[in-house]
C-alpha cells in the first residue's frame, strides 16, 4: 500500500525534478545570482508602478498629464515584470516542494494574476482616458494597485522565512 500523493503536490515534485530546478538547486551561485536579478526587476517594476500610482493619488509628477506619465512608465513596468517572471520561475522550480508547503507562496501566487490583470486592464484603461484628473476614482484605483502589489511583494519576501 502506497500513500496517495495529491495531484497538485505531485506536480510540484515534478517541478523540482525539472532540469532547470535541479541545476539551480545544485549550483552554489545560481540561486543567489538569479535572486539578485529578481530584486533588480522589483526595483523597475515597483518604481514604475508607484510612479503612476503616486500620480493617481495626486503626488509626484502632477504637472504632467496622467495619460503621458502612464504611457512613459508602461514599458518599464513590462520590462520589470518580464525580468521578475523570467527569474522567479527558475527560483520557484529549484525549491518547488518548499513553496508548495509555504502559505506565503500561495498568497503571492494567487494575488499575482489579480495584480497583473488590475494593472493592465483596469488601471491601464483608466489612464488612457484623455484629460483625466485626480479624483476619488483615480485614488481608489491607485490604492488597490498598491495593495495588490504590496501583497505580492511581501508574500514573495516571506517565502524565504518559512
Partner 1 sequence: MIERFLGWLGETPWSVALLESLYAWPLIETSHVLTLALFAGTAIMLDLRLTGLGFRDVPVSAFVDRVLPWTRAAFALMAITGLLLFYSDPLKYYQNLFFRVKATFLVVAGINIGFFHARTHRTIADWDDWPVPPRAVRIAGAVSLLAWSAIVVSGRLVAYNWFECEIQPQPAFVNWFAGCSSGGAP
- Nearer to partner 1 by C-beta: 54 or 109? 54
**Measured distance CA(37)–CA(32) in Å, rounded:** 9
The answer to whether residue 68 forms part of the interface with partner 1 (CB under 8 A) is: yes
Terminal-residue alpha carbon distance, the chain: 32
The answer to whether residue 154 forms part of the interface with partner 1 (CB under 8 A) is: yes
Q: Which residues contact 74 (CB under 8 A, 6 or more apart)?
A: 48, 124
Out of 24, 57, 70, 73, point to the residue binding partner 1 (CB under 8 A): 73
Closest CA to 120 of 148, 159, 151, 156: 148
Q: Which residues contact 98 (CB under 8 A, 6 or more apart)?
A: 159, 162
Q: Is 65 exposed, middle or buried (0-12, 13-18, 19+ CB in 10 A)?
A: middle
The rounded radius of gyration (Å) of the Cα atoms in the chain is 19
The answer to whether residue 39 forms part of the interface with partner 1 (CB under 8 A) is: yes
Contact range with partner 1 by CB under 8 A, out of 12-20, 34-42, 89-97, 133-141: 34-42
Out of 18, 30, 54, 120, point to the residue binding partner 1 (CB under 8 A): 54
Contact of 34 with 90, CB cutoff 8 Å: yes
- Nearer to partner 1 by C-beta: 11 or 33? 33
- Nearer to partner 1 by C-beta: 79 or 89? 79
Contact range with partner 1 by CB under 8 A, out of 32-40, 90-98, 116-124, 132-140: 32-40
The answer to whether residue 81 forms part of the interface with partner 1 (CB under 8 A) is: no
Residues that bind partner 1 (CB under 8 A): 28, 32, 35-37, 39-40, 42-51, 54, 59-64, 68-69, 72-73, 75-76, 149-150, 153-154, 157-158, 161
Amino acid at each position: 500500500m502506497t500513500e496517495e500523493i495529491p495531484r497538485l503536490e505531485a506536480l510540484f515534485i515534478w517541478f523540482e525534478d525539472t532540469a532547470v530546478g535541479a541545476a539551480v538547486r545544485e549550483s552554489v551561485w545560481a540561486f543567489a545570482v538569479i535572486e539578485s536579478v529578481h530584486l533588480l526587476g522589483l526595483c523597475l517594476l515597483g518604481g514604475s508602478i508607484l510612479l503612476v500610482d503616486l500620480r493617481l493619488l495626486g503626488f509626484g509628477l502632477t504637472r504632467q498629464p496622467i495619460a503621458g506619465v502612464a504611457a512613459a512608465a508602461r514599458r518599464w513596468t513590462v520590462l520589470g515584470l518580464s525580468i521578475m517572471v523570467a527569474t522567479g520561475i527558475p527560483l520557484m522550480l529549484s525549491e518547488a516542494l518548499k513553496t508548495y508547503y509555504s502559505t506565503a507562496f500561495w498568497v503571492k501566487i494567487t494575488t499575482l494574476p489579480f495584480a497583473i490583470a488590475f494593472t493592465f486592464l483596469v488601471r491601464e484603461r483608466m489612464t488612457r482616458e484623455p484629460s483625466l484628473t485626480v479624483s476619488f476614482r483615480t485614488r481608489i484605483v491607485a490604492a488597490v494597485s498598491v495593495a495588490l502589489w504590496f501583497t505580492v511583494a511581501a508574500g514573495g519576501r516571506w517565502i524565504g522565512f518559512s
